[in-house]
DNA sequence: TAGATTGTTAATCGATTAACAATC
DNA sequence: TAGATTGTTAATCGATTAACAATC
């Protein structure tokens, strides 16, 4: 079992390698890498060696190869069929979020309860009634659901999604999916908590 | 210097206490608390004791008191004058984000480069031209800037903001503010990285 | 007073850093 | 071959957990 600390550093490594590739840099040493990330060279080497020996002594790491290794580790190339629930301001923002597809998430549908929103088009996506959701998923199964709904609504929505075989969640609500479905794959984005930490740092000055 | 690990747990503690308060729960033991958070009672007690002895033997922690202590620690009551740069889909979502104010962030202005957006009203906020920004900040200083702009634009924008005395940033871009301004207070929200971690967890199955 | 539960010290565990032999 | 830099083992540091005396 690989430590969460390592996993959470990989996306940053990946982004750095994307940058280097754009600058046509061929190789990078753990020292350079560490410097850019604000970490130690030791840590970079330890982190990478958790997954294999991707470097070469006296040369460093080949940018293109390392990038593709990390991409593979993160499973970014795999297509993940995704639906979104809750087309409020945040939901709309996520639908329009371009980098989505660069991480392999293919947005197939969006659902809402509000009659005013149902039927409207956001980018390529036409918003459907949430009442269609179960029927829709029976015909076109999805891997991931993005939850852009209030916590109170989330419990019932996830219950329906879970029954339809949706096991992974990108959760912007405060509903604790793992608590009710310990098997679920959940990545929480708690903007509130992030703001609170910022508030703490500000008040400390 | 208090560990980042502890700080990042406090907002969750705070949310839990809000919930308990709504349910009119008077007190909570570290065991109950730990159970709800998926942590150990030891850790709850250690975390809280970093800041003071808020509990009482044989009773536990008073919900109302502990909540207000944590709120104070996080500086949530302090008013933080905030502006937002970049009124795209994400920027709009953040402007409409209601919990903002519950963490003490008072949104005073929003700025964009696009002529189509300038002058339009999002909620209570009228979008201004980014060319007005420096003049605006001279008249009405701000503490915090929310960066909802592409990384390429961020460097120049932050340079201008920093000159105007804005030292804290809620950063949705991939521009590394700390690298250029080590003194800056920065909280990054990297949605990309969050998605990548989700992708990893999915592909691991 | 007895029971419950904290505050706090000590023990453990795991993450990070240092060191260096291996090797390109 | 000499220099650079990895892969990997050992040492350190800090976070978490366990234990228990203090006390409400």
Instruction: Work out the burial of residue A54: count CB atoms within 10 Å of its CB; fewer than 13 is exposed, 13-18 middle, 19 or more buried.
Output: middle
Shortest CA gap B7–chain A (Å): 7
User: From the centroid of its chain, how far is CA A104?
Assistant: 10
C-alpha A109/C-alpha A138 separation (Å) is 13
Both tokens assigned to B27: 């007190």
Per-residue pLDDT 10s for chain A (205 aa) are 899 999 999 999 999 999 999 999 999 999 999 999 999 999 999 999 999 999 999 999 999 999 999 999 999 999 999 999 999 999 999 999 888 899 999 999 999 999 999 999 999 999 999 999 999 999 999 999 999 999 999 999 999 999 999 999 999 999 999 999 999 999 999 999 999 999 999 999 8
Nucleotides in chain D near protein beta carbons (<7 Å): 2-9, 14-19, 22-24
Query: What pLDDT was estimated at residue B40?
Result: 98
Express each pLDDT in B20-39 by its tens digit.
Answer: 999 999 999 999 999 999 99
Express each pLDDT in A131-147 by its tens digit.
Answer: 999 999 999 999 999 99
Query: For the whole model, what pTM was predicted?
Result: 0.96
C-alpha A151/C-alpha A173 separation (Å) is 5
pLDDT higher than threshold 90 for residue B170: yes
- In what helix (H) or strand (E) does residue A112 lie, and over which residues does it extend? strand A105-112
**Among all chains, which residue has been given the structure tokens 């700390």?**
B178
User: From the centroid of its chain, how far is CA A120?
Assistant: 26
- In what helix (H) or strand (E) does residue A28 lie, and over which residues does it extend? strand A27-28
Length of chain B: 205
| Nearest residue for D4, CA–C1' | A58
Q: Of A192, A94, A24, A38, which Cα lies nearest the Cα of B177? A: A38
**Strand C at less than 7 A from CB of A192:** no
Q: Of B33, B130, B85, B202, which Cα lies nearest the Cα of A187? A: B202
Both tokens assigned to A118: 């149902």
**Strand D at less than 7 A from CB of B57:** yes
* Cβ-Cβ contacts under 8 Å, B143 against chain A: 202
Both tokens assigned to A7: 């996993």
In three-state secondary structure terms, A12 is helix
- Does B202 contact A at CB distance below 8 Å? yes
Give the number of other CB atoms < 10 A from CB of residue A5.
Answer: 9
| Nearest residue for D16, CA–C1' | B43
- Does B146 contact A at CB distance below 8 Å? no
**Strand D at less than 7 A from CB of B6:** yes
Say yes or no for a CB contact (<8 Å) between B203 and A93: no
C-alpha A1/C-alpha A203 separation (Å) is 38
C-alpha A144/C-alpha A107 separation (Å) is 9
**Strand D at less than 7 A from CB of A60:** yes
- In what helix (H) or strand (E) does residue B80 lie, and over which residues does it extend? strand B80-85
């Amino acid at each position: 079992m690989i430590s969460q600390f390592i996993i959470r550093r990989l996306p940053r490594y990946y982004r750095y390698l994307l940058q280097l590739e754009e600058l046509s840099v061929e190789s990078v040493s753990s020292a350079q890498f560490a410097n850019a990330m604000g970490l130690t060279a030791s840590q970079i080497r330890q982190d990478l060696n958790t997954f294999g020996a991707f470097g070469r002594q006296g040369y460093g790491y080949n940018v293109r190869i390392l990038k593709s290794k990390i991409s593979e580790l993160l499973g970014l190339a795999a297509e993940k069929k995704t639906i979104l629930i809750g087309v409020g301001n945040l939901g709309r923002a996520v639908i329009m979020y371009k980098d989505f597809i660069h991480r392999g998430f293919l947005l197939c549908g969006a659902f809402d309860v509000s009659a005013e929103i149902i039927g409207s088009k956001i980018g390529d996506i036409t918003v459907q009634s949430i009442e269609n959701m179960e029927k829709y998923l029976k015909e076109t199964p999805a891997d991931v659901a993005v939850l852009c709904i209030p916590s109170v609504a989330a419990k019932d929505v996830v219950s329906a999604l879970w029954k339809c075989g949706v096991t992974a969640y990108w959760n912007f609500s405060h509903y604790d999916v793992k608590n009710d479905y310990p098997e679920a794959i959940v990545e929480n984005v708690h903007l509130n908590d992030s703001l609170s930490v910022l508030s703490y740092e500000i008040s400390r000055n």
